[in-house]
Amino acid sequence: MATTTDMAPGRKNQNTPARSAASRGREQELEAQVKQLQDDLKSITETLGKLTGEKAGEARAMAAGELKQLKRKGQDMLHEAQGQAEEVEKQLKDTIREKPLTAVATAAGIGFVLALLTRH
């Protein structure tokens, strides 16, 4: 590093032993403070890493719980829909057994309407 005398050759060297010792003391103090700041930053970084990991774990656990709950709801809805479909099928079969001619006429009418719609 360039000293004051290097930068201004015409100036006298003002570095006396007392001044040099005081300067070294300040440098050491600054170095200690920088070291303390580095240690503090490292500690803060580690703490943030731990907090982030904990929050991610909590979020994963919550998501897993929600997923299980949604699966259960979906299965319940599926069973309910299957039950309703079976009930409608049973009612349709009962109606066909009770009134076979009406069922055949209805099926023919639906077929005719579909044929008209698909003709174009």
**Per-residue confidence of the chain (120 residues) as pLDDT tens digits?**
455 554 555 555 555 555 687 788 888 888 999 999 999 999 998 888 888 888 888 888 999 999 999 999 999 999 999 999 999 999 989 988 999 999 899 999 999 999 999 986
Q: How far apart are CA 87 and CA 105, in angstroms?
A: 23
Specify the pLDDT at position 1. 46
pTM to 2 decimals?
A: 0.45
